[in-house]
Chain A
Amino acid sequence: MAEIFKNKGTALVIAFLIMGVLMILGVYFLSFTLTEFRIAKSQTVGTQTYYLAEAGINEAIWKLKYDDEWSTCFTTSSVAYNCDCTTATWTASSIINLTPNSTTTTAIISSECARGEITATSTIGLAGGKTAQRVVKTTVYKSLASPTAGAAVFSGGASENIDIKASKILVYGNLFSNNHINIKYLSQVEAYATSTGEGKILAEGNYIKSDYSTVIAYAICAKNKCWPSTTTCSCVTNPEDFQECSEVGAGRCPPKGLATPIVDFDSDSQYSFKERASSTEAAHQCSNTCNGGTCWCDGEPCWGNNKCLLDDDDFEDLLWAAGQGGTLTLGSTSTPTIVYVTGPIELRGGRHLVVNGALVAEDNIKIGARYKWKGDKGFSQITVNRPTETTVSGLLTKRKIDFGLYSSFTTTTITGVVYANDEISLVSMPKYFRVRGGIIGRKLSFTSVLKWFEFILDDTIIRYGLGWKDELGHDITPTYSPIITIEHWEETY
């Protein structure tokens, strides 16, 4: 080893080696410095661009709620704005300049009605003509709103009430009145939660209960009642659904008023009940049977056997043909139909009417209000079936529905919507009465005496029953929740 250092030029080599090491160190430190500088700069600008992009997203969500064009085109069609969410995608954009050297461009592209993707791109100008950019994407949508605000029992008349007298009522969902709710004469009302109705008793007006009646509910929210608390009544969490929340301290927490959901009975639209019944009839898909076979009228097959669009006389002929103790079946489980009657319907004289689908009338519907019909007599009965998941089912009228003293000889089961533009009255029904779907009227009167009325909320059944969905499952008149849901977000660079 010592020999190496005796050679000439050794010092020079060692010097070069040491200098080389020092140079490498120097270059490393310089590189480290530059990297740190870039990281610091990037972090700063990255944070700034992120929050500017977030500002764009917030601005877009506000526009979806309050800007006329954005809110209209997001969920419906408009000639003024040349958009139609059902047939074409809709796009819109806006630009905000929150800081002098920055731009945030927000764009929305709707993929279908009430669903779209918001993209906010923010850029900040840097020295040397460079720019920093951040892109934030958010998917937003609106859910279909419950047609009855989560109510299985719904009264929409502004000056009408829900009157419950000497009745036992079991509700799975909410009970809603657009005016007062009166519970009297030893009534027993129980409301329990479902997936969309919390089991509340909601009255836009007053809640009046007699001392001897009992009520079980998740909450009672009315103009004069806020039980057990404003929090339970959702005044705190959902102020959009409630009015006068500023006065919750005074025990006032009524829900906002809601009108009766609209049903298209007989317009020229292909989706009105009358037109749908007519087109089913034209397609030869209507089939009404008496006691499992053909209905005979005066020795000949009844005119209404293969009809879905009938007048009240034709429908009465079918009922008469069924005979005392007989059954008239509208449609079948394999081919459910909408039967539209252009007059009143009265079920009496010991008939059983089975509806596979929907029975719609332009005038009053009376079930078991009278015991006798000419020479026939007996308790009558109606059953409404919903054979498939896309069947329009229920009992609907432009006027009143009246279930009377002779309206059942066994449990009444209606899987569909019971809907009346006017009053629905259920008086002293002799047997258990069950509706899966909902009961909707301008005014509701219940007097059950001994038997229970059971109402189970099902928003899907209500949507089909009101004719808001067709047999293929398409939404005809969708109503969306006011809440904009943010489904997913991601950041890209």
Chain B
Amino acid sequence: MKTQRAFTLTEMIVAITIFVLIVVAVFSAHTLSQRAYREGERAAEISQNGRVILERMAREIRQAKELVTNLSYSETEATSSLEFEDGHIPIPSRYQDLGSEYYYIRYHIPAGTQDLERQYRVYCFDSCDFTNCQPQSATCTNVCSSYHRWNATQETTPTSTHPCVLEDKIIGEYLTGLGFWGSSVISVSTTLEKEDKSLNLKTKVYGRNL
């Protein structure tokens, strides 16, 4: 019977060990690269959200006619929401037949969310009626009998105005912090977080009509 030569046990153990080590190393590298890729995606996503949020707010603040929110001068006393009178003309739009001279925009983060909400609203003395102002309808009329500035007063009850929200839209996600301070040059701070990634963006916007 002819004897058949084979690998010794030692050879086999050494070979398998080296193979396993290399496979583990490659797999780890692959896992690491996947994680890095996902982290990059998250960074890009919060960065993109941050850009959208700041560009939108900056454009509207730049044209704002009057600030409703009373802003402090220091960042430590920054407010987490901002309301101002819209300086853009809402024509042509679904509001061209509403008849209001005053439209207001409010940016804030609703409680329990990480979304930036943009409210478009008017101020009225009487109660809000949205029968002719449904979100899906092309026109919006007769929300209330007359529209006023946010701080208007009258002698009869109710003596002060209240807001009627015409639109309520989310324009950005992953927002965990929002701060406004300053006067005619308004400082804005946003903090965005997604899982372990976070981004803090700060800028200043000059309100040309403020």
- Chain A residues within CB distance 8 Å of chain B: 15, 19, 22-23, 25-27, 29-30, 32-34, 36-37, 39-41, 43-44, 47-48, 51-52, 54-56, 58-59, 61-62, 66, 96, 98-99, 230-231, 236-237, 239-240, 246, 248-249
With A51-B202, A51-B203 known as contacts, the answer to whether A22 contacts B26 (CB < 8 A) is yes
Cβ of B188 to closest chain A Cβ, rounded Å: 9
Q: Is the CB of A29 within 8 A of B29?
A: yes
Secondary structure of the A contact surface, majority rule? helix
Instruction: Point out the residues of chain B lying under 8 angstroms from A22, CB to CB.
Output: 22-23, 25-26
Residues of B within 8 A of A62 (CB): 184-185, 206
Contact A29 B33 (CB under 8 A): yes
Given contacts A22-B22, A43-B43, contact A249 B203 (CB under 8 A): no
Checking B26, B58, B87, B91 against A25 with a beta-carbon cut-off of 8 angstroms, the contacting residue is B26
Q: Inside 8 A of A239's CB, which chain B residues have their CB?
A: 65, 209
B:49-67 near A, CB below 8 Å: 50-51, 54, 58, 65
**Given A19-B22, A58-B206, A246-B149: A36 and B40 within 8 A (CB)?**
yes
Cβ of B89 < 8 Å from any Cβ of A?
yes
Q: Which residue of A lies closest to B202 (CB)?
A: A98
Interface contact A33-B36, CB-CB below 8 Å: yes
Whether B36 lies near A32 (C-beta < 8 A) is yes
Chain B interface helix/strand/loop/mixed: helix
What residues of B have a CB within 8 angstroms of the CB of A248 in the complex?
A: 101
B154 CB to nearest A CB, Å: 13
A448 and B30 alpha carbons, distance in the complex (Å): 91
Excluding A40-B43, A99-B200, 19 further A-B contacts by CB distance (< 8 Å) are A22-B26, A25-B26, A33-B29, A36-B39, A36-B40, A37-B39, A40-B44, A43-B47, A47-B47, A48-B199, A52-B203, A59-B204, A59-B206, A61-B206, A62-B185, A239-B65, A240-B209, A248-B101, A249-B148
Q: What CA separation (Å) do A33 and B33 show in the bound complex?
A: 4
Known: A43-B44, A47-B51. A23 touches B22 (CB 8 A): yes
Q: Are A58 and B185 in contact (CB under 8 A)?
A: yes
Which residue from chain A places its CB closest to the CB of B62 in the assembled complex?
A58
Bound state CA distance, A304 and B17, in angstroms? 118
Chain B hits for A15, CB < 8 A: 15
Task: Tell me the minimal C-beta distance from A30 to chain B in angstroms.
Answer: 5
Determine whether the beta carbon of B39 is less than 8 Å from that of A40: yes
B201 at the interface (CB under 8 A from A): yes
| Interface CB pairs A-B, < 8 A, 23 | A22-B23, A22-B26, A23-B22, A25-B26, A27-B29, A30-B29, A33-B33, A36-B33, A40-B44, A44-B47, A44-B199, A47-B47, A47-B50, A51-B203, A55-B187, A55-B203, A55-B204, A59-B204, A61-B206, A62-B185, A62-B206, A98-B204, A236-B89
9 A-B pairs with least C-beta separation: A29-B29, A55-B204, A51-B203, A40-B43, A36-B36, A58-B206, A40-B40, A33-B33, A33-B36
**B 176-193 contacts with A by CB, 8 A:** 184-185, 187
Q: A37 near B26 (CB under 8 angstroms)?
A: no
Contacts of A66 in B (CB 8 A): 184
Whether B65 contacts A51 by the Cβ 8 Å rule is no
Chain A residues with CB under 8 Å of B91's CB are 231
The reply to whether A52 and B47 contact each other, CB–CB distance below 8 Å, is no
Beta-carbon nearest neighbor of B15 in chain A: A15
Q: Specify which of A33, A66, A239 lies most central, judged by the most chain B CB atoms within 10 Å of its CB.
A: A33
B201 in complex: contacting residue of A23, A32, A47, A56, CB < 8 Å: A47
Give per-residue flags for B1-30: 1 if the beta carbon is below 8 A from chain A beta carbons, else 0: 000000000000001001100110110011
By the criterion CB–CB under 8 Å, are B200 and A230 in contact?
no
Closest B residue by C-beta to A249: B101
